[in-house]
Every structure is written in C-alpha cells, then in structure tokens.
Chain A
Amino acid sequence: MIQYKIYMPTTVDKKHLPGITFDPSRREYDYSKDPFIIKKVERARASIAKYGLPEDKPKRGK
C-alpha cells in the first residue's frame, strides 16, 4: 500500500470562535496515523487526481 504523507500542523495562534474551547494540553491520539484518516486522504487524492478540482476543469454549462 502506498503511504501518503499527511501534512500535520504548524503553529496556529489565532483565537477560536465562541463555542470552541481550546485545550492546549490535549493531544491524546495521533490522527495522522489513523487508518481511517489515511484511507480518507487516499480516497480524496485519488478522486482529485481523476476528476480534478473546479479550477482545473470546465464547469457545467461552460
């Protein structure tokens, strides 16, 4: 299986919206290694490679 690199975060210091609590100590799990996430990213990459993004392709009716 191809292992895609998933880029993970750089520092973000902006404030979150009201209703969102920021917990700087919380990182209980490395989601970048989660098989579900890897599969989702693989699927997205394959779809984008096959069908492109809006800016790559003619839009409907054009």
Chain B
Amino acid sequence: MKYSKYPIVASNDPYVYTFFSEGPRGTIKKTVIYSQIDENLFNLGFGDWNEEFQGLDDSSRSNNGDRDKILATVAFTALDFTNQFPGARIYAEGSTSARTRLYQMGIADNLLEINENFKVEGRLEELWEPFQRGRNYEAFLIRRK
C-alpha cells in the first residue's frame, strides 16, 4: 500500500482487528470485524468504539486527518484475513452512500497494490462488474486472486 498503516492487534477472535487512529482529535479506537454470513462469505464491518454507549458506531466522522492511513490499515486487515481464510469473499457496503463512497476512494487510491492480491468487483445499478475508478458503486465484493 502506498500509505502507511497503523499497528493492528488481532485478538483471540480471528475475525476482529483493532487499531488506534491518532490525530488532532485524539486517539480513536477503530475496529474491523469480519462476520460470516454464508459459506466463505463475510461482511466487512468497520467502526469506532463509542465510549458513551459501549458499542461500535460508524455514524460519526472522526475527522482525525488520517483517512488514507485508516483505509490502508483496513485494507491490510483484509490481506491478513484472507491469509487466514484463503477462500473467503468479503462483502462491503457502507451504512450510508457517503460511507460506501469512502470505501470506494480507499480502493481506488490503492488499486494497483490491491489488484496484486485481490479481485475486486463493484455493484452498480444491480449489476456487478470489475472495479473501475470513477464509478459510484453501491457495494463491493473482494476475494484473493
């Protein structure tokens, strides 16, 4: 990846990765969770730990000035996860169109490196196609080559 990434802690639960975003708004705990929804199919969930209600949340924008580093870190968890589960397909869809667009920018910015290891497809108007820059996809499916 062309961007640096945060150190990640994988827990005893192999579907969970945690890291800490550092920036002007302080230290923010981020968690990436791969939830199995079908055979070899996992949903990528990504959010901030919300101290107030003691749970995950992706409704707030942390604005910590490290978007690219965060997205590179999330992409790296996908690399590790698919090392653990080589046949896994990862489905990703943001909770809002803005979130989905954020995923899209992260993929587009790192497409060259991502393409070395992954096949990425995007869903647009009900049809899937190989990921292309400049298209506003509604969801993504990622698998190892």
Q: Which of B111-142 contact A (CB under 8 A)?
A: 121, 123-124, 126-129, 138-139, 141
Contacts of A21 in B (CB 8 A): 7-10
**Interface size, A (range):** 35 or more
Tell yes or no: B106 within 8 A of A by CB.
no
Contact A26 B12 (CB under 8 A): yes
Nearest residue, chain A, Cβ from B8: A20
Contacts of B27 in A (CB 8 A): none
With CB as the reference atom, state the residue of chain B lying closest to A39: B95
- Whether B56 is near chain A, meaning CB under 8 Å from some CB there, is yes
Q: Which residue of B lies closest to A38 (CB)?
A: B35
Binary contact track A4-48/B, C-beta < 8 Å → 1, others 0 = 101111001010110111111111000110111101110111011
Would you give the 0/1 interface string for B27-59, flagging 1 where the beta carbon is closer than 8 Å to chain A?
A: 000010101111001010101000000011110
In the complex, which residues of chain A have a beta carbon less than 8 angstroms from the beta carbon of B31? 31
Complex Cα distance A6/B34, Å?
10
State the majority secondary structure of interface residues on B. strand
A-B contact pairs, 30 of them (CB 8 A): A7-B37, A9-B14, A9-B15, A12-B14, A16-B80, A17-B83, A20-B7, A20-B10, A20-B77, A21-B7, A21-B10, A23-B9, A24-B12, A27-B13, A31-B31, A34-B56, A36-B45, A36-B58, A37-B35, A37-B45, A44-B93, A48-B38, A53-B41, A53-B128, A54-B141, A57-B126, A57-B128, A58-B127, A59-B127, A60-B128
Give the A-binding residues of B (Cβ under 8 A): 5, 7-17, 31, 33, 35-38, 41, 43, 45, 47, 55-58, 76-77, 79-80, 83-85, 89, 91, 93, 95, 121, 123-124, 126-129, 138-139, 141
